[in-house]
Amino acid sequence: MRRLTIAFFPMLILVLSPAGPARGDEVLFLNGDRLSGKILKAVSGKLTIKTEGAGDVTVDMSKVKTFSTDAPVAVGVKEQPPVSADVGAGPDRYVQTAPAPGAPPQPVAIADISAITSITTAGSRTRVPARSPPRSTTPWRWGSTTTSSPRSSMATY
C-alpha cells in the first residue's frame, strides 16, 4: 500500500499543476502568424512587443489582424487622450476594449488607434528605453590598428 501511495503522489502533482505557460499579450497577423510577449507601445503606426526569444520586435500595425493584452494598457483612439482599458481580440482589423471593469467591450478599429502605452498596476507608465545603451570604448587589436570592436557593443542578457 505504501508503494502505491508513493507512486500516486507525483502523478497527482502533475495532474493538478497548471497545464501551460502563463498567458501573455498576443498579436495575430493578417497572414496567420502569432507573436506572444508583452505589448510595450504603439506610436506612428508601429507596434512594439517584447518577446522572450527575440527581444523587442516592432511591427507595422497595418499588418496586424487583431491583438489582446493580459493587463490593462493606455489606449489612445484618434485625437482622444489615452484611456486605461483591457484589450481583447476582435474581428479582423478590430480589437475589443473595456475601459471600465464590468463595462461591455467596445470594438475599436486598429487603424483608429493612435497610441498604446503599457501601464503598471499602480497606474504609472512602464519605462521604455528611448535608445540603445552606449557602445563600449574598450579598444581591441586587429593586426596593427586599434579600433573599437563591433562586438563590444552587443549586450549579453
Residue-wise pLDDT for 45-83, tens only, equals 999 999 999 999 999 999 999 999 999 999 999 999 999
Q: Which pLDDT does position 135 carry in this prediction?
A: 52
How many Å apart are CA 24 and CA 69, to the nearest integer?
7
What's the pLDDT band for 25 if we cut at 50, 70, 90? very high
Average pLDDT, the chain: 76
Those residues whose C-beta lies under 8 Å from the C-beta of residue 93, and which sit 6 or more positions away, are 64, 65, 66, 109, 110, 111
Which sign, positive or negative, has the C-alpha torsion 144, 147, 149, 152? positive
pLDDT, tens digit, 9 for 90 and up, residues 103-153: 899 999 999 999 999 986 444 444 444 444 455 555 555 554 544 445 544
SS3 5: helix
H-run or E-run covering 91:
none
Q: Residue 34 above 60 pLDDT? A: yes
Give 73's contacts (C-beta < 8 A, 6+ positions apart): 39, 84, 85, 87, 116, 117, 118, 119
3-state secondary structure of 111: helix
Question: Looking at residue 142, what is its pLDDT?
Answer: 55
CA-closest candidate to residue 71, choices 34, 115, 109, 118: 118
